[in-house]
Amino acid sequence: MKKQIRRALVIVNLIKEETEELAAQVRAYLEQRGIQTSVAPVQDGTFPQVDPATDLAITLGGDGTLLYAARILASVGGEEGGAQEIPILAVNLGDFGFITEISRQEWAQALDKYLAGKLGVSRRIMFDAVVQRGGRAIACFSGLNDAVVRSSEYSRIVGLRLHLSSTYIARYRADGLILATPTGSTAYSMSAGGPILHPEMEAFILNPICPFTLASRPMVVPDSEELVVEVEERQRTAVALQVDGQEMYRLQPGDRVLFRKSARSTLIILSDQRNFYQVLASKLNWAGQPNA
């Protein structure tokens, strides 16, 4: 079935080479097809306003640009204030991308195929992180990849306590604790020895970073769980929450961070040139190619 697209948002990482020129090409291409188009650059700590009528997003950059876009689009309301899920055509302009499957040379062909109804969409779970202090919520974040509670200083052990659905599970003395979605399983968590999950699974990974005891192992839990990470009162270092490697929030001793599955999802338009397993084998050099 053909897609009826009326308004598009192009999110561009201007640090990448030639992205400004490519963004202009994409905008002209869309407007020739009667699609109203706006362009927004990636800006650290700042989210652009998104027209609620937007029904397609295109990212020009790498995985980080897609993560930035996912958090922007998660805050967009649909008609009558309801949730609106905006599919993302993620174009990879970098060297290493697990999420962005469409190459610089393929964007026009992929866009035409999507508009013609020939490309599918991958639904990815997101998480919400609520910082609680003194019994009240003081900050809230959403992410697609991962959240990390860790020292905000170099290589210092922190003390954390983990609760799953109100059940106390473990005390960690470690460099930090990663909560990763299946999409984020190939990011920081994988580097820290965590498992790789298919990105459309509905689960969370809990992965301690360099724990003081080898008894602390990564876990995979259903996404229906509510997870609470408590910052112990006695710390030798400052502690912070980092979301998708892009947003940082300073925590205090006694703070609790509640993690749960978000009501919103990220929709990523699939490539018909390669799938997740092919990307995985190539990026991790499983087949012998020197790409990683």
Superfamily of domain 7-120+270-283: Probable inorganic polyphosphate/atp-NAD kinase; domain 1 (3.40.50.10330)
Q: How confident is the model at residue 37 (pLDDT cuts 50, 70, 90)?
A: very high
Segments making up each domain of the chain, as ranges: 7-120+270-283, 127-262
Per-residue confidence at 77, pLDDT binned at 50, 70, 90?
Answer: low
**Mean per-residue pLDDT, 267-272:** 93
Residue 95 has pLDDT above 90, yes or no: no
DSSP secondary structure code for residue 43 in this structure? B
Q: What's the rounded Cα separation, in Å, for the pair 46 and 53?
A: 21
Average of per-residue pLDDT across 64-72: 93
Q: Predicted confidence band at 29 (pLDDT cuts at 50, 70, 90)? A: very high
Secondary structure of 139-194 in HEC code, one letter for each residue: EEEEECCEEEEEECCCCCCEEEEEEECCEEEEEEEECEEEEECCHHHHCHHHHCCC
Catalytic residue among 44, 51, 63, 95: 63
pLDDT at site 82 = 42
Going by pLDDT thresholds of 50, 70 and 90, the confidence category of residue 2 is confident
Interior angle at CA 7, CA 57 and CA 49, nearest 5:
65
The mean per-residue pLDDT over the stretch 53-79 comes to 88
Q: If we measure between CA atoms, which residue out of 238, 90, 262, 38 comes closest to residue 156?
A: 238
- pLDDT value at 284 more than 90: no
For the chain, percent of residues with pLDDT exceeding 70? 94
The answer to whether residue 79 scores a pLDDT higher than 50 is no
pLDDT at 45: 73
Q: Residue 111 pLDDT > 80, yes or no?
A: yes
Q: Please say whether the beta carbons of 181 and 146 come within 8 A.
A: yes
User: What per-residue confidence (pLDDT) applies to 23?
Assistant: 95
Q: Is the pLDDT of residue 123 over 50?
A: yes
- Regarding predicted confidence, which is higher, 276 or 185? 185
Identity of the amino acid at 143: G
CA distances from 240 to 224, 232, 235 (A): 25, 13, 12
Topology of domain 127-262, CATH: Tumour Suppressor Smad4 (2.60.200)
CA distance 148 to 189: 10
For the question of residue 44 being annotated catalytic, the response is no
Reply yes or no on whether the pLDDT at 241 is more than 70: yes
Q: How far is the first Cα of the chain from the last one, in angstroms, to the nearest whole number?
A: 38
Q: Is the pLDDT of residue 138 over 80?
A: yes
pLDDT score at 291 = 54
Q: Which residues contact 67 (CB under 8 A, 6 or more apart)?
A: 99, 143, 144, 145, 244, 245, 246
Composition of the chain by helix, strand, coil, percent to 5: 20, 40, 40
Question: Which 8-state DSSP code applies to residue 19?
Answer: H
The torsion angle over the Cα atoms of residues 191, 94, 117 and 282, rounded to 10 degrees, is -50
Better-scored residue on pLDDT, 286 or 247: 247
- Name the more confident of 15 and 25: 25
Intrachain domains 7-120+270-283 and 127-262 with the same fold? no
Average pLDDT on 262-284 reads: 89
pLDDT digits (tens, 9 = 90+) for 142-191: 999 999 999 987 768 999 999 998 899 999 999 999 999 999 999 999 99
Which of 94-108, 143-157, 193-207 is predicted with the least confidence, judged by mean pLDDT?
A: 94-108
